[in-house]
A and B are shown apart, each in its own frame.
Chain A
Amino acid sequence: MIRIEGLNKYYKGLHALKGIDLHVAQGALFSYLGPNGAGKSTTIRILTGLTKATSGDVYLNDFHISRDRVKAKQQCGLVPQSINLDQELTVFENLNIHGMLFHMPVKKRMERMDALLAYVGLLERKRDLVKHLSGGMRRRLMIARALMHAPKILFLDEPTVGLDASIRRRIWALIKKIQQNGATVFLTTHYIEEAEFLAQRVAFLDEGRIVAMDTPHNLMSQLGSWAIDRIMENEMETVYFPTREAAKEYIARQEESFTLRRVNLEDAFLLLTGKKVK
């Protein structure tokens, strides 16, 4: 369970987070969606103790991130946006050191390591140096490392950024599996389809503020089910319809070229903020 109350963060001259209130239930898969610079990574950094909040409270399974720092950190695993593996060490050594940092006994470390490497499909690369792994393998290793100490809460900060479509889908399946095994997953992304596919609940973050929070279905259904994109001179206009039939009726009256598609989360985000997510 994650509970955030009145979270504010000021950097020099910048109010990065403006009174965030949030509750994520145990075992939920929650997505935090917003454009670059909205405050997603800052929120995750505060939730994992990497950055200090200016004001407000954060509880991870009822442990306060500042007052019960060690216990709160034991609750969570973090997959940061940038690859922060030790390139000069092997896959085994990276996981082993993580286990040591989380005070795991040797026997448990060894058992868990093999199980996790098999889980993310890297068991055969156990003795390889990290610098010899591909980008997708490193991402999967980062997830395995974050799961080493069996955290109850997993934070994923843009876990599929820069990866090709097939690897991204493999990682989505992995994230789903982690959540199905009982962990609470907090995911930040600017890939709309990622949030749509994975999340049970979504919060839209814009300029340090949560502008909407609901299930993906509820956020999208405010607009309708179908959308038509039309190019109007230099701008694109989107019109929404409750049914496909209503959209087709509209198309019949048009002379310009258009695209008919399903409504997505980006439409909901655009409507609420006037901005694109990416």
Chain B
Amino acid sequence: MTYGWIAVYYRELLILRRRLTRLLASMSVSPLLYFIAFGYAMGNEVIIEGRTYMEFLIPGLVAMSGMTHAFAIAGDVNISRFYWHIFEEFQAAPISNLSYVMGEVLAGITRAFISVAVILVLSLFFGVVLSYHNPLFWIAAFLNSFVFASLAVGLAMIVKSHADQGMLTSFVITPMAFLGGTFFPVDRLPVWAQKILFLLPLTHASKAIRSASFDNPVHYSSYLLLTGIGLAFFLISIFCVNRARD
């Protein structure tokens, strides 16, 4: 007896394995450029929150990359839905919508963790080692990818074409990547802007990952909030899969 989610997840893992070399290369490009442009060049000159900019940057990149790559599962779900019609194979199978969403969300989380691993390995080459042994670092990274993988699956079910998916990435993910505390501390912004940015899950993820990697006291409210948002997106995704049957 195999559970449906294992089949969905296993399929994504097989595809991931086939694309792994390409994927690792593409996952390395952006962080490497950020390390060189923002970290290496400004590195030891700029001090933020008592840390060099490179040290400040890495947890932000972990959060941003985790988000981007977890959300990228939406693109694959879309291609399998609109282009290859593989989504029909899942719909015709005796598996629940929960199984389907769970399999795809796990695939998104797996990608996100690979991208995090790439950043951590790259950061070693720049001589930066943070407190990666802290379990709270990994819990925050997991919750961050859970939120965005769940959001991705739900949105992939709502959009009507692959082009719409690209638009969502431009309007939702890109602004969040730059404003969610990745490159600068949010509390340097005006209070009204901080209030808006604290509505974004990535702001909480960046804060939680950064605090954990510096071994600073963490705000458990950020963990709770990410758990709540992640579960809400997950449940909405299950509803959206049902709705995707015309």
Contact = CB atoms under 8 A, between A and B. Distances in A.
Interface of A: 11, 48-52, 69-71, 73-74, 76, 78, 80, 82-89, 93, 97-98, 100-105
Contacts of A74: 94
Contact of B94 (A82, A89, A93, A103): A103
Nearest to A76: B92
Interface of B: 1-4, 6-8, 10-11, 14-15, 18-19, 84-86, 88-96, 245-246
A71 B93 CA distance: 10
Contact of B92 (A50, A89, A93, A104): A50
> 9 tightest A-B contacts by CB?
A100-B7, A101-B93, A84-B85, A73-B94, A70-B94, A100-B2, A101-B7, A74-B94, A78-B92
Given A74-B94, A86-B15, A100 B86 contact: no
Contact of B11 (A11, A80, A84, A86): A86
A35 B158 CA distance: 31
Contacts of B7: 97, 100-101
Contacts of A76: 92
Q: Is the interface of A mostly helix, strand, loop or mixed?
A: loop
Interface residues of chain B: helix, strand, loop or mixed (majority): helix
Contacts, number: 80
A73 B86 contact: no
Given A52-B245, A52-B246, A101 B85 contact: no
22 contacts: A50-B92, A50-B245, A70-B94, A70-B95, A70-B96, A71-B94, A73-B93, A78-B88, A83-B85, A84-B85, A86-B84, A88-B15, A88-B18, A89-B18, A97-B10, A98-B89, A98-B93, A100-B6, A101-B93, A102-B93, A102-B94, A103-B3
Contacts of A102: 93-94
Contact of B2 (A48, A49, A104): A104
A11 B245 CA distance: 12
A37 B59 CA distance: 55
Given A70-B94, A76-B92, A93-B11, 13 more contacts: A51-B245, A73-B93, A78-B92, A82-B85, A84-B86, A87-B84, A89-B11, A89-B18, A97-B11, A100-B7, A101-B2, A101-B4, A101-B7
